[in-house]
Chain A
Amino acid sequence: MQKTTTKNKNIVQRYSSLTKIEKIQLFVAIGFTLASIIVAPVFAWFSFQTKVETMSYVNDPPTLSLASGHQDSIQFFQLKNIDVKRLNDGSYYQDFVFSVETEKALEYDLQLCHTTNIPFTYELWRAKEDVSGTVSYIVQEGSDIGKTIQYTLLTGNLTDGDITISQDITLTSLNPQTISFTNENEPTISRDIGCEEVLESKYSRKNYEQGDNYNQFVEPLYSVARHIQTNEKTFDGSEERDYFVLRVKWNVKNEAQGNEYWYYGFNDKETDIVYVSVKESRDSVSNADNEGN
């Protein structure tokens, strides 16, 4: 009590001891402090009275999707019923058209994965619609159903103004099979898993000496083409698709003997499964910064 009284007396005494000028300074300082305290909520009040806002979420950019040729949807991309029989020995192939719906994506990776019951090899090409093209696609839905569209394979570079887009696709094997050459004209492809020699030595069985037995020890092969740039944008955006041709290749030897049977296409072999997937390239936005205009 005494301490408080003493303290209060000090404040009062202190105030009394101030000179006139000091008292004025004190009141001015208090005045400015009060003014600041009042101004802040006044500004806030005016803001609420004179400004309104509305908020919305911004969606993430859409994911890429796969589709078929022309404007067809993905279910029409089919690799079934490839007839590998040919009268003459040699190398043959069949082409299949598919597309990537790019929407706003600028760069993406295409991954290919396939089982190896049949010794197919695969190539990936960029393509575009061209009446003189060598790859045919029959439209499966929509107003052009039944029509045959021709595609041409693209190589080299596509240039538009100052932007150059490479058309060449390099499929990089992620788990390659082993290839050896006994002579330069005839490479021998040997696989770590799945070929008849390995099966016989490791698992005491053969699949393709004769007949149609599936190869249960087969490991799918994976390959990927990275940083494929979205091709020239069509003007009205109606065909925002990049077209591709998947080329399926095989060799024919009609009188294959013993283990050779494995390496050649025969119609009585078990089915293979092929996967194609697409994903936006991870650092595509920053990579795209390096493009000039």
Chain B
Amino acid sequence: MKHSSDISELKKMQRASLVKMFVIVMIVVVFAVFGSVAWFTMNREVEGAGVQMTASDVEFSFKFPGSDEGKWINQYRSLSNQAGIWLVDDKKYLDNGSEIDKEHEGLEPGDSGILEFRVEPNGQSDTISVDLCFSLRGIVKPEKQYNQDGTLKDVNKSLEEITDTTLMNYVGSHIMLFTGINGDGKYTGLLQNNNQLQRYIRNKLYSKTDTEYTKLYWVWPMHLSNIISKDASELIYAANERDTVIQYIVEHKSGFFKGIETEDSKLKTDLLNVDHYGAYSILFDKADLDIGNKVQYVILGMSASTSSAPDSE
């Protein structure tokens, strides 16, 4: 009797051990699968948050002509989520820093500027091909609070990142990025957002010997007419890119126009012919108003990864 009870006890222990072993193995398998997927995907392209690991050591570093960390560096340093600093100078930055009036020293519709950078290969090779990803994130503008005498209360609140995707869609659409500028002062080469509001420059070649900086042109158009006009002088970009830009506006209509319900083909026809300008302009301005009222800071990020198809440019 005792012998059989010992056997059943032993069997129970063995079963328990097997279960534990099985659980451990499953956890290992899950980790291995996720790790492999992460490895393969992160090795090729940057998607999602833009954090990226390469297969080997980091093969490049960013270089900037300026050495200024920017006017808002203290506010940036208070964020829990930070990256490296895009160094700027007093001529090239992401705000309207030339205005002396404090009320206008930040970003607003009608502003534009340049940011510069280059990528320097670190490794043995003299050249490197990188994919550059640009994305915007925003910080919530706290609600204005007033004292009893009607004066504005000084609210000290920690910076909170915007999670409202509709609002960030407005920001990502209204702040436009271009890669060049022509002799007439019109932008060329619109960088187009993907569905995750990321904009790419792919297979950009940099070499150790070429020290020229890449220019990124940012602009927040004042009026809808500045991006759809048939009059080339009114457009902020080169007129021969009008079809492309209008197509882009249609594809991202919910970012350009607040509360738009117009169907795509009708919208495209209206924009190309500049029909019902007043109505669309109001929706365009509504989106701008939302940005001005609800966004306190915007953060433009650039992340780089070695190209999957080198030297293809």
Answer whether A57 and B95 are a contact pair too, CB < 8 Å, given A19-B17, A50-B52, A293-B279. yes
* B123 interface contact, C-beta 8 A: no
Q: Mark A145-161, 1 if CB is under 8 A from B, else 0.
A: 00000000000000011
Residues 56-86 (chain A) with a chain B CB within 8 angstroms: 56-62
Pair B108/A235 contact, Cβ less than 8 Å: no
B298 CB to nearest A CB, Å: 6
- A255 contacts the other chain (CB 8 A): no
- The answer to whether A52 touches B86, judged by C-beta atoms less than 8 angstroms apart, is yes
B296 with A160: CB separation less than 8 A = no
Give chain B residues whose Cβ lies under 8 Å from the Cβ of A55. Answer: 70, 72-73, 75-76, 94, 297-300
Least Cβ–Cβ distance between A22 and chain B, in angstroms: 8
Proximity string of chain A (67-107) to chain B, C-beta cutoff 8 Å, 1 when within and 0 when not: 00000000000000000000000000000000000001110
A28-B24, A60-B293, A232-B278 given; A54·B84 CB < 8 A: no
**How far is A47 from B84 in the complex, measured between Cα atoms in Å?**
8
**B31, B262, B277, B292: the one within 8 Å of A32 (CB):** B31
B62 interface residue (CB < 8 Å to A): yes
Contact with A along B103-129 (1 / 0, CB 8 A): 111111100000101000000000000
Query: Given A60-B292, A161-B276, is A52 in contact with B301 using a C-beta cutoff of 8 Å?
Result: yes
Contact (Cβ within 8 A) A51 B83: yes
- Complex Cα spacing A237 to B58, Å: 49
Q: List, in ascending order, chain A residues with CB within 8 A of B115's CB.
A: 54
In the bound assembly, the distance between CA atoms of A263 and B132 in angstroms comes to 76
Residues of B within 8 A of A292 (CB): 261
Q: Does A53 contact B (CB under 8 A)?
A: yes
Q: Inside 8 A of A51's CB, which chain B residues have their CB?
A: 50-52, 83-84, 301-304
Contacts of A47 in B (CB 8 A): 51-52, 83-84
Residues of B within 8 A of A230 (CB): 282
Does A186 make an interface contact (CB < 8 A)? no
Which residues of chain B have C-beta atoms less than 8 A from A161's C-beta?
275-276, 278-280
Cα(A245)–Cα(B52), bound, Å: 62
B289–A106 touching, CB < 8 Å: yes
Q: Is A28's CB under 8 angstroms from B289's CB? A: no
Determine whether the beta carbon of B84 is less than 8 Å from that of A48: yes
Q: Which residue of B lies closest to A61 (CB)?
A: B292
Of the 9-residue stretches A113-121, A174-182, A267-275, A283-291, which lies at the interface with chain B?
A: A283-291
A271 to B20, CA, bound (A): 96
Q: Is the CB of A58 within 8 A of B141?
A: yes
Q: Of all chain B residues, which has the CB nearest A288?
A: B286
Taking the nearest CB of chain B, how far is it from the CB of A125, in angstroms?
Answer: 20
Report the bound CA distance from A56 to B111 in whole Å. 12
Q: Mark B260-285, 1 if CB is under 8 A from A, else 0.
A: 11100000000000111111111101
- Among B51, B274, B304, point to the contact of A235 (Cβ < 8 A): B274
Are B293 and A285 neighbours in the complex by a CB distance under 8 Å? yes
With A59-B108, A160-B279, A293-B261 as contacts: A52 and B225 at CB distance below 8 Å: no
Q: A104-B285, A233-B282 are in contact. Are A53 and B76 (CB under 8 A)?
A: yes
Choose one: A42, A56, A160; the contact of B276 (CB below 8 Å).
A160
**B259 — which chain A residues lie within 8 A by C-beta?**
289, 291, 293
8 A Cβ contacts from B125-183 to A: 138, 141
Report chain A residues within 8 Å CB of B299: 53-56
Q: Which residues of A contact B261 (CB under 8 A)?
A: 292-293
Any B CB within 8 A of the CB of A203? no
Q: Which residue of B lies closest to A20 (CB)?
A: B17
Which one, B58, B61, B234, contacts A236 given CB within 8 A?
Answer: B234
Which residue of A is nearest B257, CB measured? A293
Residues of B within 8 A of A285 (CB): 286, 289-290, 293
Closest beta carbon of chain B to A59's beta carbon, Å: 4
Q: Is B291 an interface residue (CB 8 A)?
A: yes
Q: Quick check: B301 and A59 within 8 Å, CB to CB?
A: no
Q: For the complex, give the distance between the alpha carbons of A56 and B20 in Å.
A: 53
Q: Which residue of A lies closest to B141 (CB)?
A: A58
Q: Report the minimum CB–CB distance from B66 to chain A (whole Å).
A: 10
Is A162 in contact with chain B by the CB < 8 A criterion?
yes
Interface string of B225-269 (1 = CB under 8 A from A): 100010100100000000000000000000001011110000000
State the CA gap A70–B196 with chains docked (Å).
45
The answer to whether residues A59 and B107 also contact, given A53-B83, A236-B223, A293-B262 and a CB cut-off of 8 A, is yes
In whole Å, how far is B275's beta carbon from the nearest beta carbon of chain A? Answer: 8
In the complex, the chain A residue whose C-beta lies closest to that of B300 is: A54
List chain A residues, Cβ under 8 A from B283: 293
Contacts of B51 in A (CB 8 A): 43, 46-47, 50-51
Tell yes or no: A49 within 8 A of B by CB.
yes
Interface membership of chain B positions 49-93, coded 1 if the CB is closer than 8 angstroms to chain A and 0 otherwise: 011111000100110000000111101100000111110100001
* A134: Cβ under 8 A from any B Cβ: no
The 9 closest A-B pairs by CB, nearest first: A57-B106, A161-B276, A56-B95, A161-B279, A61-B292, A54-B86, A51-B303, A51-B83, A160-B278
24 chain-A/chain-B pairs, Cβ below 8 angstroms: A43-B51, A49-B58, A49-B84, A52-B85, A52-B117, A52-B303, A53-B85, A53-B299, A56-B70, A56-B71, A56-B95, A56-B297, A56-B298, A58-B106, A58-B107, A58-B297, A59-B96, A59-B106, A61-B292, A104-B285, A106-B286, A161-B279, A236-B234, A291-B259
Given contacts A54-B88, A59-B292, A285-B286, 16 further A-B contacts (CB under 8 A): A19-B17, A25-B24, A32-B31, A50-B54, A50-B303, A52-B117, A53-B300, A53-B302, A55-B298, A56-B300, A57-B72, A161-B276, A161-B280, A162-B276, A233-B277, A293-B262
